[in-house]
Amino acid sequence: MKSALRVGLVGYGLAGSVFHAPLIAATEGLALDTIVTSSPERREQARGEFPAVRFADSPEELWDRSGELDLVVVASPNKTHVPLAAAALRSGLPVVVDKPVAGTAAEARELAALAEERGLLISVFQNRRWDSDFLTLRRLLANGELGEVQRFESRFERWRPQLKGGWRESGDPQEIGGLLYDLGSHVVDQALALFGPALRVYAEADVRRPGAEADDDTFIAVTHAGGVRSHLYVSATAAQLGPRFRVLGSRAGYVKYGLDPQEAALREGRRPGPGEPAWGVEPESAWGRVGAGESPLTGGGRPLATVPGAYPAYYAAVERALRERTAPPVTVEEAAAALDVLEAALRSARDGVTVELSS
């Protein structure tokens, strides 16, 4: 039997505790070895679920023990992603970095170059490529059921009128906060994965909530090289939520409401594995509809069963890439292309212009 690859996890906040630690632990061939957190409360929380895990106060302790680890996962605040990922690579450790991998595409490409120079894997955790609705749409496109796609509308909206505070809502550019880089990293990555490179970007970014410092209601329009237009919305101030996806093609459209169920399941303490045979499965009431010329709100179109979501597939692919030295499930080059769009959106919203990207 193959021995498990040992993983060090930097950070045990939302990303580390809800997403990375449970998914690493659920992946055959990976073992959660060490968690970096100096918080007694977070250590107690982690020890309750992972009794055998070790702890470190600082990432430097992982670099000192690099020979004992096979992978480092960076799930710390955004501003630390680049320096920690670079330090891991220089210590000889492959690395997975939560999104956004960096504040700029140039920094992301520097990380990619460093990884290539060292002959090490680096990947970006874009888990929403394994959302149930995204997988369903991919299947629809592969089967040609919508015809030629003309417009892709994607919404990641919430109703959070009260500020939570913390670095994610900080207006300090060093923190890389705000929804453009947070939820925007997801919707832009999905659009590029589905419809290819961006040629043109227009954006509107607003700070709506009293006392807010960072954008909390943002719209991005992307014109793809293949002709598809993506309209992407991220908001914390949506009093009525729009459809998660509305995709319009020359033959039919697909409309889907509601978020993938996996994040809610992870937050509730449920874990993928033999004890959850229906992991990622949506109830029929949440299915989207496919049709032409009729409103799905009045029963138009046919219901389409949602493909089960598959977050565990990300780390399974990372494990395979480490052992077989194949390409990771998400490359830094792909993340850099998304950052090109986010940077263009930032400039567009600031200056009120449409930004052209090189093809």
CA 274 centroid distance within chain? 25
Q: Evaluate whether residue 336 is within a structural domain.
A: no
Tokens standing for residue 157: 């909206």
88 with 174, same domain: the answer is no
**Confidence (pTM):** 0.96
Q: Distance between CA 255 and CA 34 in Å, rounded?
A: 42
Residue ending a domain, among 125, 154, 174, is 125
Give me the domain span that covers residue 35.
Answer: 5-125
Average pLDDT across the chain, whole number: 96
Instruction: Give the residue ranges of the chain where pLDDT is below 50.
Output: none
Q: Evaluate whether residue 319 is within a structural domain.
A: no
230 with 90, same domain: the answer is no
The CATH number assigned to the domain holding 9 equals 3.40.50.720
The DSSP output letter for 159 is B
162 with 273, same domain: the answer is yes
Residue ending a domain, among 107, 125, 143, is 125
59 with 136, same domain: the answer is no
34 with 115, same domain: the answer is yes
Q: Are the C-beta atoms of 219 and 204 separated by less than 8 Å?
A: yes
144 with 106, same domain: the answer is no
Q: Distance between CA 204 and CA 347 in Å, rounded?
A: 10
DSSP 132-147: HHHHHHHHHHHHTTT-
The CATH number assigned to the domain holding 233 equals 3.30.360.10
Residue ending a domain, among 125, 156, 183, is 125
115 with 158, same domain: the answer is no
184 with 278, same domain: the answer is yes
Q: Evaluate whether residue 320 is within a structural domain.
A: no
Q: Distance between CA 178 and CA 188 in Å, rounded?
A: 15
- Per residue in 246-271, pLDDT (tens digit) is 999 999 999 999 999 999 999 999 99
DSSP 285-322: GG-EEEESSS-GGGT-SEEEPPPPP-THHHHHHHHHHH
281 with 168, same domain: the answer is yes
The tally of domains found in the chain comes to 2
53 with 175, same domain: the answer is no
Q: What is the pLDDT of residue 359?
A: 60
191 with 108, same domain: the answer is no
Q: Distance between CA 63 and CA 69 in Å, rounded?
A: 9
Q: Evaluate whether residue 286 is within a structural domain.
A: yes
Q: Distance between CA 98 and CA 90 in Å, rounded?
A: 18
